Chain A
Amino acid sequence: MSKHSRRLLSGIGLVCALALTATACGDSDDGGSSQKPVSQDDVRAALKKGGTITVWAWEPTLEKVATDFEKKYPGVKVNLVNAGTNNDQYTALQNAVSAKKGVPDVAQIEYYAMGQYALTKQLTDLTAFGADKLSAKFSPGPWNGVKAGSDGIWALPMDSGPMALFYNKKVFDKYDIEVPATWAEYLDAARELHKADPKAYITADTGDAGLTTSMLWQAGSRPYTVNGTKVKIDFSDRGAKTYTDTWQKLIDEKLLTSVNPWTDEWYKGLGDGTIATLATGAWMPANLASGVKEAAGDWRAAPLPQWTAGGKASAENGGSALALPELGKNEALAYAFVEYANAGDGVGTRLEGGAFPATTAELQSTAFQDTAFPYFGGQKANKIFAESAANVADDWSYLPYQVYANSVFNDTAGKAYVSGTPLAEGLRSWQEASVKYGEEQGFTVEK
C-alpha cells in the first residue's frame, strides 16, 4: 500500500517533469533561474551578505559540516533537514517541485537518480559556478555520476561506494574456506560453507536493483545507453550473461539466504555468522561498526571477486552527491555550502565521521590509506577501497528514470529469487517494464 502510493507519488512528479505542455503542473519560469551566469565573485559576495539555506540530506556526517560552515561564515544559517532516505526524499522533492513551494536550496541525490533530475532540468547546472574546474578533484565513478551523461554538471560528488567484498573471517577460518578472488571461487565458497553449516549462507540477496546494476557494471555489461531522450535498454549482452550464469547457480542451489537485506534479521545474520559475506560499497564499515557490534573483529575487507582471474574491474554501489534544485533560492550561498562540504574543509570533517570520500586527494593520501580499522581487527581496509575506486569503469550510465525502474525491479527481475523464473528471463521482464514506462513518458526507446 504505502509502497504503491509512494510509487504513484514519484510517478506524478516525473509525469509533471516530462510533460511537454505546461498543464496542471504549471510552467517552470518562476523560482530560481539558471540562465544568468553566476561567478565565484557572486559566491563570495553572498557569503559576506549571509542568509539562510535549507539542505535536505540524510547523510549523518553533514551535521558537523553545517555547524562548521556556520562558524566560518557567521552571517550564514544552514537549516539541515532529514527529509527521509533516498526514495522518501525524492518523493518529497518531487512533491515540492510540483507544488513549487518548499523546494530546498540543496538536496542530496544518489548517482543512480541523478539522470532523472538532470534530464528534466530540475537541477541547476553548476558549470556557471566553475564546477568544471573541479573535475580533477574527484574519482572517475562519482564524477561520471554527476554529469549523468550530459554536458552539464548537476551536482558535486559527496561520497562514493567503490565495491569491496566484506567477509566474516571467523567463519571462513572455522570451515577453512579460502577468500574468493573470482566469482567462480565465490560460488565454490558458497557451496562449501552451506555444506559445512546448513544454517550459514554466503550472502543475502533477495533481489536488489542497486546490487544487480552494480554487478552488471563490474561484469562489463552496459544495459543502458542514454542520449538525451533517446534510450536503449538491453540486458542480453555478454556481461549480463556472465553475471546471470553465476548468480543463477547461487539461486538454484539455494545458496542465498532468504533474509531481506537491511532488516534486523539481516543484522543478526551478519553478527552470528549465518551471513558470511557482503559485496557492497565502501561506505559499509560504519554500518557494520554501529549495527553489528557483536561481531567486532570478525570481519575483514577484500577486493571484489573478479569475473576473469587476475582482473581488477570494479563498480560503484551507492554513493550520493549534493545538488541545487532549480527552484531553490539563494543559489550562490547554496553552491558555497556544497563546495565547502564536498571539495573543501568539509571533506576532512566527513571522513572523521566515517564517510567514504569521492575525492582523489583523500583517496590517495597516506593518512587515509594507513587508517587502521579496529572493527576489522586493525586491517588497513582503505587501501582496498581506494584501489577499487581507481578501477571503476567510467562509461556506465543509468536510465533517466532509474528511480522508477528500480521500484519495479522486485515485481519483475526479483521474481527469479522466489519463483523459479530464470534470472535472465527476470531481467528481460524488467527490461520490458522499463521500456514500457519510458515510452509512456515520451522517451524514444530502442530495445
Chain B
Amino acid sequence: MTSPAATAVDRSAPAPSGPSGSAPRLRTSRRRHSSDQPRRSVLLTVLTGLVLLYSLVPLIWLAVSATKTQEGLSRSFGLWFDGDFALWDNIGETFTYDDGVFTRWLLNTLLYVGLGAGGATLLAVLGGYALAKFRFPGRRAVFAVVIGAVAVPGTALAVPTFLMFSEMGLTNTPWAVIIPSLISPFGLYLMWVFATEAIPTELMEAARIDGAGEVRTFFRVALPLLAPGIVTVLLFTMVATWNNYFLPLVMLKDPDWYPLTLGLNSWNAQAATAGGEAVFNLVVTGSLITILPLIAAFLLLQRYWQSGLAAGSVKE
C-alpha cells in the first residue's frame, strides 16, 4: 500500500504550470488551450454553478435546520437561522432520546457497512480480477449473468429474499441485512473492466517468471494496481449500504437492529402516530449526523481515487 499512496500524494499536489513531477510528459505541440489553461465558457460556468447550487441547497437547509428547536423549525425561514441556536441541545438530545437508541442505530449501520460493503468490495475485487485475467470455461456465461444481475433492481428481490431468509430463520437478525449486501453485481462488473485495463498481462507474466505464486502475484502485483478501482467500488457499496432502506425495512422488525435510515424514519413516523411525540428537530439533526460519515469517507478516500497508476510500468 505504501508505493501507490506515496505517488498519490505526489500527484494530488496541484500541478504548477509547466512540466514537473516525477513523470515528465511529452508535449508534442503547444496548443492555445491546454489542460492548464482551459478555454473559458460563460455558459458552462453558469450551468455548473446552477447544478452546484441545486445540489448544495438541501445540504445547507439541513445544516441550518439542525440548529433549530421544534418550534423554531416551523416559525423561521428554512434557509436562515432562527433566533435560538439549539444545535448542541439537539445533538445531545438526539443521542439521549429514547434511551440513547440513536447510538445503537449508528453502530448497527457501521456494522452493516463494515461487513456488508467491505465484504462486497472484497468479493468484487477477487471476482473481477479472476474474470479479467484468467481464461476458463463458462466465462461468457458468468458475464451474461452479471450483466443481467446489474439490470435487476435490489428492491425487486427484497420480498423473495425475505421469504428465503425466513425459511432459514435469519430474518430479524443482522445477517438478513449483511448477507444480501455482500452481492454487488455492478461492483463486480466495474472491477472486471478496471482490472482488464489496469493490470498489464505482461506484468503478471513477469511476476510468474520471477517465481511468484498466483496468490502472491495477486496481492503484491495486482492489488496495488487495482487500488483506485477498489476505492471506487468501496465508496459505491458503502453509499449503497449506508443508504439502504427497503431491504432492512422488509427484513428487520426489532428497532434494536435498525440501521439509521429506518431509525430516523421511525422517529419521523412518530409525528403521525396517535399519542406519538413529534420530534422533527431530532429527525433533522439525526439526518445531518447520518450523512457526516459519508462525507468524511469521500474526502478521505478521494486521494486514492484516480487511475493510470500502471502507466509506465511496462517497458515496451
Contacts and interface: CB of A to CB of B under 8 A. Distances in A.
A286 interface: yes
B162 A95 contact: yes
Given A82-B266, A99-B166, A271-B71, A354 B250 contact: no
B74 to A, nearest CB: 3
Contacts of A1: 155
Interface stretch (B131-139, B210-218, B273-281): B273-281
B250 A95 contact: yes
B253 A283 contact: no
Interface string B57-76: 00000000000001101110
A264 interface: yes
A272 B70 CA distance: 13
Interface stretch (A57-65, A218-226, A230-238): A57-65
A315 to B, nearest CB: 16
Given A82-B266, A85-B269, A287 B74 contact: no
B140 to A, nearest CB: 34
Contact of A287 (B73, B250, B255, B278): B278
B74 A268 contact: yes
Chain B's interface: helix, strand, loop or mixed, by majority?
helix
B159 interface: yes
Interface stretch (B79-87, B115-123, B167-175, B306-314): B167-175
Nearest to B164: A99
B275 A354 contact: yes
B253 A92 contact: yes
A293 interface: yes
B163 A98 contact: yes
Greatest chain A CB density within 10 A among B250, B273, B274 is at B274
B277 A291 contact: yes
Nearest to B165: A99
Contacts of A271: 71, 74-75
A9 interface: yes
A433 interface: no
A349 B170 CA distance: 36
Contacts of B254: 81, 83
Size category, A interface: 35 or more
A281 B273 CA distance: 12
Interface in A82-122: 82-85, 88, 92, 95-96, 98-102
A181 B282 CA distance: 39
Contacts of A83: 253-254
A287 B253 contact: no
A55 to B, nearest CB: 12
A264 B158 CA distance: 30
A54 to B, nearest CB: 9
A35 interface: no
Given A81-B253, A268-B74, A101 B274 contact: no
A159 B169 CA distance: 34
A267 B271 CA distance: 9
A319 B249 CA distance: 25
Interface of B: 70-71, 73-75, 155, 158-159, 162-163, 166-167, 169, 171-172, 245-246, 249-250, 253-255, 266, 269, 271-278, 280
11 contacts: A81-B253, A81-B254, A84-B269, A98-B163, A99-B171, A101-B166, A102-B171, A264-B271, A267-B280, A287-B278, A294-B71
Given A5-B158, A264-B271, A286-B274, 10 more contacts: A12-B159, A84-B266, A85-B269, A95-B166, A102-B171, A271-B71, A271-B74, A281-B274, A287-B278, A291-B278
